Amino acid sequence: MNTTVAKFGGTSLADANQFRKVRAIIEEDPARRIVVASAPGKRFSEDEKVTDLLLQCYEAASRGGAFLDALDRVRRRFQDIIDGLQLSFPLDGELAALRAHLESAPQRDYVLSRGEYLNSRLLAEYLGFTFVDPEWCVCFDADGKLDAAMTRRTLCAALRPLKNAVVAGFYGADMSGRIHTFTRGGSDVTGSLVAAAVNADLYENWTDVSGLMAADPRIVEGPRTVKYVSYRELRTLSYMGASILHTDAVLPVADMGIPINIRNTDRPGDPGTTIVRKLPKGETKYPIIGVAGRTGMSVIQVEKVMVSDESGFTAVMLEILKNRQIPFEQCLTGIDTVTLVIKSDVLAPFKQELFTEIRAKLNPDYLGLTEHLSMIAVIGEKGTDSCDANVRVLQALADMGMPISTVNQGAGKLNLLIGVPEDRYEEAIRTIYATIGEA
Ligand code: ASP
């Protein structure tokens, strides 16, 4: 029998009505046997996420302050779901235990985890599935780091005998039973770990958008949804700020080649975006899957005649950055030049000393700094493979008189990175999007 692990995010489980939609989705496909649930998220834009309310409780309690009001808001969120679905869940007892914990020596991760714990218990009761508490099967080591191998074994042992299950997302525990959470949005990671442990055919990630868009909708009007994206392309997109999935959620399933399908709980008929290792043949209508970017970049340029004959010049340059623990985004080397792209806020505190040191150690003929830049990534394993697409993108920018400060494409040809002035960033994105739509 096929197995789909279906993870539902906070907005998908925000109230009783959303629970009903989730049940309809689960019942529609018998392969959806294992569900991973988040805590209730926002029901409308000014609403509060239950995890944020729990954080308020913890912060107030740990200062010895009043937390009962925030705890009551948590109670009301769950009580509304219980009443709306006519469940018989013993909420009062659970919240009394949480209150007692907050009044003693509260532990942050334990308090935060209660949103997922309670919501998953409600969902399990509503679906008639077995509740699986990750306290027993998502394993952290004593330093609070995920023990991936142990987690895989324990999750597999816990889930194998079950026909259906709801696993709470976002947390696990160490050997001493102390609860640990992933970073925020971490139920995506739980979903991925569960999918890998049961060797699922598919990992569905149900959220409130119909997948990944080919460009930022705040800049481009109505960008198309990307149908397929490779794990590598997704990584670039997330790095460039298109946040659709927790970054740690890709690796566990990518290792096993399990596809991830991003779906919309409010529009279950939409196919969403599928993240795969290899794009299916004939599905690459748009070889360039999208365009994304980041502002707030600076470029340092170092030039020295005949430096290409001197070994170690670039290494010294990188050593200077390493010693000061300055991360760089890109390093481009040419004949007699080294160009470094660094985030402006990272560079700001070191600017003067860094330049003094570069002058002292490398004695360059020219040392320049360009600020207020943005980096745009034109992403697509297939698209950037053909220089035709690259030429079209660069030609379109040239036609509009866009000053281009850097162009970078590695042999991996995953993306083409273009540096343009920050104040022309949005214009450049719109132009590139219009070009790649037909690429
Ligand atoms: N509830 C947690 C958060 O708000 C985890 C999650 O939703 O994935 O970050």
Q: 327 and 238 in one domain?
A: no
- Is 240 part of a structural domain of the chain? yes
For residue 119, the CA-to-ligand 1 centroid distance in Å is 12
Domain that holds residue 401: 290-436
Percent of the chain scoring above 70 in pLDDT: 96
pLDDT of residue 270 exceeding 60, the answer is yes
Query: What are the DSSP calls for 124-155, one per residue?
Result: HHHHTPEEE-TTTTSBB-TTS-B-HHHHHHHH
pLDDT for res 281: 73
The region of weakest confidence among 53-57, 186-190, 207-211, 420-424 is: 207-211
Query: Under a CB-based contact definition with an 8 Å cutoff, are residues 5 and 203 in contact?
Result: yes
pLDDT of residue 439 exceeding 50, the answer is no
pLDDT of residue 81 exceeding 60, the answer is yes
Residue to mutate, 50, 74, 184, ligand 1, most ligand atoms under 8 Å from C-beta: 184
Number of structural domains found in the chain: 2
- Is 226 part of a structural domain of the chain? yes
pLDDT tens per residue across span 371-422? 999 999 998 877 666 677 788 899 999 999 999 999 988 777 778 899 999 9
Q: Does 40 sit in the ligand 1 pocket, CB within 6 Å?
A: no
The region of weakest confidence among 19-28, 193-202, 241-250, 400-409 is: 241-250
β-sheet bridge partners, residue 300: 340, 369
Percent of the chain scoring above 90 in pLDDT: 73
Query: Under a CB-based contact definition with an 8 Å cutoff, are residues 267 and 210 in contact?
Result: yes
Q: 150 and 17 in one domain?
A: yes
Query: Under a CB-based contact definition with an 8 Å cutoff, are residues 326 and 250 in contact?
Result: no
Q: Output the domain CATH number for residue 395.
A: 3.30.2130.10
Q: Which of 254, 276, 298 is the last residue of a domain?
A: 276
Q: Does 183 sit in the ligand 1 pocket, CB within 6 Å?
A: no
- Is 285 part of a structural domain of the chain? no
| Mean pLDDT calculated for residue range 251-278 | 94
Q: Which residues have a Cβ under 8 Å from the Cβ of 39 and sit 6 or more positions away? A: 10, 13, 49, 50, 51, 54, 115, 116, 118, 119, 170
Q: Which of 250, 276, 302 is the last residue of a domain?
A: 276
pLDDT for res 247: 83
Contacts 24+ apart (CB under 8 A), 22-31: 22/123, 22/206, 22/265, 23/126, 23/127, 24/268, 25/206, 25/265, 25/268, 26/127, 28/268, 29/4, 30/1, 31/1, 31/2, 31/3, 31/4, 31/201, 31/202
Q: 417 and 271 in one domain?
A: no
Q: How many residues make up the chain in this entry?
A: 439
Q: 221 and 111 in one domain?
A: yes
Q: Output the domain CATH number for residue 152.
A: 3.40.1160.10
Residues 119 and 51: their CA atoms lie apart, in Å, by 11
Q: 22 and 49 in one domain?
A: yes
Query: Under a CB-based contact definition with an 8 Å cutoff, are residues 97 and 133 in contact?
Result: no
Query: pLDDT tier at 280 (50, 70, 90 boundaries)?
Result: confident
Element (H, E) at 252: helix 250-256
Q: 340 and 215 in one domain?
A: no
For residue 186, the CA-to-ligand 1 centroid distance in Å is 6
Beta strands, E only, 21-88: 32-37
Q: Does 10 sit in the ligand 1 pocket, CB within 6 Å?
A: yes
The closest of 406, 407, 218, 377 to 292, measured between CA atoms, is 377
- Is 57 part of a structural domain of the chain? yes
Q: Does 290 sit in the ligand 1 pocket, CB within 6 Å?
A: no
Query: Under a CB-based contact definition with an 8 Å cutoff, are residues 360 and 407 in contact?
Result: no
Q: Does 186 sit in the ligand 1 pocket, CB within 6 Å?
A: yes
Q: Which of 245, 276, 307 is the last residue of a domain?
A: 276
- Is 86 part of a structural domain of the chain? yes
pLDDT for res 310: 65
For residue 111, the CA-to-ligand 1 centroid distance in Å is 13
Q: Does 112 sit in the ligand 1 pocket, CB within 6 Å?
A: no
Q: 191 and 60 in one domain?
A: yes
Query: pLDDT tier at 195 (50, 70, 90 boundaries)?
Result: very high
pLDDT of residue 244 exceeding 60, the answer is yes
| Mean pLDDT calculated for residue range 1-29 | 97
pLDDT of residue 207 exceeding 50, the answer is yes
The region of weakest confidence among 105-114, 120-129, 381-390 is: 381-390
Q: 424 and 348 in one domain?
A: yes
Q: Which residue type, as a one-letter code, is found at position 3?
A: T
Q: In degrees rounded to 5, what are phi and psi of residue 416?
A: -110, 125
Q: 219 and 82 in one domain?
A: yes
C-alpha distances in Å from residue 118, one per residue of 33, 39, 168: 20, 8, 8
Q: Does 187 sit in the ligand 1 pocket, CB within 6 Å?
A: yes
Query: pLDDT tier at 285 (50, 70, 90 boundaries)?
Result: low
Looking at residue 33, the DSSP 8-state letter turns out to be E
Please give the number of the atom of ligand 1 that sits closest to the Cα of 181.
Answer: 5
| Mean pLDDT calculated for residue range 213-235 | 88
pLDDT of residue 305 exceeding 90, the answer is no
Pairing, β 260-264 against β 290-303: unpaired
pLDDT of residue 149 exceeding 60, the answer is yes
Q: 250 and 355 in one domain?
A: no
Q: Does 301 sit in the ligand 1 pocket, CB within 6 Å?
A: no
pLDDT for res 265: 98
Pairing, β 406-408 against β 330-334: unpaired
pLDDT for res 255: 87
**More reliable by pLDDT, 1 or 283:** 1
- Is 355 part of a structural domain of the chain? yes
Q: 232 and 123 in one domain?
A: yes
- Is 221 part of a structural domain of the chain? yes
- Is 106 part of a structural domain of the chain? yes
Beta strands, E only, 130-271: 130-132, 165-168, 171-173, 179-181, 202-207, 228-230, 260-264
Query: Which residue shows structure tokens 């070009």?
Result: 435
β-sheet bridge partners, residue 229: 275
Q: 333 and 233 in one domain?
A: no
In the predicted model, what is the mean pLDDT of the chain?
A: 92
